Chains A and B, each alone.
Chain A
C-alpha cells in the first residue's frame, strides 16, 4: 500500500519544515532492478544484516560497509562485497541504504570524512533508514543533495523478525523520484511503503510510531508488575489481554519475554529510549505536552541504569522491580 504525496517541484514543501531542500534540477533516476543495479548498504546491525541478505537473495549486487568489519561476515558469506569506507560504498553503488543506530552515527557516515557525501554524485541516491530527528535528516539531505545526488529518508517500523521476513514498513520522505526508483528493493525488504512528503515527515512519523511503541510497552510492563505483586498469574493476564480490544502483536511477542525475564534484543532498549527522547524533544519544539510518554521515558532510563541498555526493550519491565 502506498500513500502518494506529490511535490510540485523540489523546492516546495507541503509540511511544516524548518529547512529548505536545495533546489537542483531533478535527474532522471533509473529504476533499481536485480542484475542491473548495484546497491550499497551501510550498517550491518540487527536490521542491516537481514535486509542485505534479502537483497542478495533477490539477485542484487550489494556492496556493504560496517565500522567493525567482522559484522560483515554473514553477508559476505551470502555474496556481498565489502567497501573500506562509506565513500567507497557510494562510489561503487548507485543506490546506497544505511541503517545506523543514532543521529550521531547517521551524520558521521553521511557527512563525515570519507563519508557518503564525498563519494556520491548525480544519478545516484542515498536512502537513510536510520531513525533520527528531522533536523539531523535535513543536515544529511543538504549534504547529499549538494553533490547532485538524491536523498530519501526512510525509517522503518518493524524490528528483527519483520526484517528477516521482508515485512518492514517504510516511512519515507524527501525526493519522490528516488522513492520511485528504489521501489524494487523496498518491496524486497518490506510489506508496505509510504511516501509522506518533504524531508522530516518520515522522521516525524517514525518518532510518533516509536513513541507509541515505547508507551505501550511501558503500560504492559506496569500491568505485568501489578499482576505479579497482587498474586495473579502473568500468563493469565497475557491471555486476557490477547482476547480483548488491547490484543496486539507487540504484546504477544514481548509478554512472554517479561514472564521469563529474558530479553534477547529484537529492538535494543537504548534505541527505544533514544526514540522516546527524540519524540519528547519534538513535542517540546511544537508545544505539545506528552506526560505519559515522558513518564515512560523515565522508566526506560531507569531500566538503562539497571544495566538493560542492550537488552530488548521489553526489559523496561525491570524498571518496575524495586
Chain B
C-alpha cells in the first residue's frame, strides 16, 4: 500500500467549494491543497489555513494529481475548463478532474469529452446537501464516469461526504442530481402551500409544523424550512435562483425524454414568481413569498 500523499486542487470557493476545500485541507491526507477562485479574495481564509493559491485553473491542475471543482452554474463550469488558462491547458495523461458542480448533462459530457481527449480522467460528482452538510462533511456525492478515478478519490470523499455512490457512465450523476433537486423544489412548494393555507384558515402555523413533525411527513427539510417560512428568515443556505435553475434543467430533461412533469412545472412557476419579486439571492424557503398576492 503506497504511503505517498498526493496533492489535490480545488477550483471554485463559493458557499460549497470553500467548505469542501477546507475539509480536504484539514484532513492531513494530502501533500498540498491548491486552490483557485475567479475573485482571489475568496481564497484568503483558506490560504491562511495552509492552502496554496494558484494563479489560474491550469496552474492548479499542473500541480495536482486530482483537481476538484465546484462552480455555481454550467457557464462557470465550462469557462473554468475551456477558458483562457483553463483546466484543458494543463490536463494530461493520468491526471484526474472531478467536477462537483450541478450542471446539465450536455455540459458534463462536453467536459468529459475534452478532458479524456487530452488523456485525462473525468468524474462528474454533483452533491446533494447545502451549506451545513458541506461544512460538516456530510454531503451525498452522486458520482459517475471514470471508475479508477472514483476509487482514487474515495479518501477525499470520506472527508466531504457521508455517502458516495458511483451511478454509471458520465451523465448519470448529473441526471440524478437534477431529479433529486426537482423533488426538493416540488416538496418545498408543497410545504409552502400548506403554510399559506393554514395561515389563511386561521390555524396556528406552529401547530401545523408540530403535527407534521410527528407524522409520516416529518423530514429535515420540513423541520428546517417550515420555521424559516413562518418567521420569514431567508438567510441563504441554498440560493433560490440556483434551485430554480435546477428545476429548469430537470424540466428540460423531462422534455428531452418525453416525460411530462406537470407538478414540477407548477413548482417552477412559483420559483419564477419569487425571483421576479426579488428573492433570487435568498434561501429557497423564500418561495413562500410566491403564495402571497
Give residues in A with beta carbon < 8 Å to B: 1, 3, 15-16, 157-159, 162, 169, 171, 191-192, 194, 196, 201, 204-205, 207-209, 211-213, 215-216, 218-220, 222-223, 225-227, 229-233, 236-237, 239-241, 243-250, 253, 279, 282-283, 286-296, 298-299, 320, 322
Contacts and interface: CB of A to CB of B under 8 A. Distances in A.
B260 A204 contact: no
Contacts of A292: 186, 189-190, 193, 263, 266-267, 270
Contacts of A279: 197
Contacts, number: 222
Contact of B203 (A192, A201, A240): A201
A212 B257 contact: no
A286 B197 CA distance: 8
A239 B128 CA distance: 12
B270 A291 contact: yes
Given A218-B186, A295-B265, A240 B180 contact: yes
B78 interface: no
A86 B2 CA distance: 79
B176 A237 contact: yes
A216 B220 CA distance: 14
B264 A219 contact: yes
A245 B224 contact: yes
A320 B190 contact: no
13 contacts: A158-B215, A209-B208, A219-B190, A222-B183, A222-B263, A227-B179, A232-B179, A243-B128, A244-B129, A244-B140, A250-B217, A292-B186, A295-B263
Given A158-B215, A191-B214, A215-B194, 11 more contacts: A201-B202, A204-B201, A223-B182, A227-B176, A241-B183, A247-B219, A248-B217, A253-B216, A283-B197, A292-B193, A299-B263
Interface stretch (B5-13, B106-114, B151-159, B160-168): B160-168
Contact of A216 (B187, B200, B214, B266): B187
Contacts of B183: 219-220, 222-223, 241, 246
B291 interface: yes
A239 B219 CA distance: 15
Q: Give the secondary structure class of B's interface.
A: helix
B261 interface: yes
Contacts of A218: 186, 263
Given A209-B211, A220-B183, A320-B259, A248 B140 contact: no
B210 A212 contact: no
Nearest to B206: A3
Q: How many interface residues does chain B have, given as a range? A: 35 or more
Nearest to A196: B207
A209 to B, nearest CB: 6
A157 B176 contact: no
Contacts of B218: 248-249
B207 A194 contact: yes
Contacts of B197: 207-208, 211, 279, 282-283, 286, 288, 290
B95 interface: no
A205 B203 contact: yes
A224 to B, nearest CB: 9
B211 A194 contact: yes
B254 interface: yes
Given A295-B263, A295-B265, A205 B208 contact: yes
A245 B250 CA distance: 19
B253 A226 contact: yes
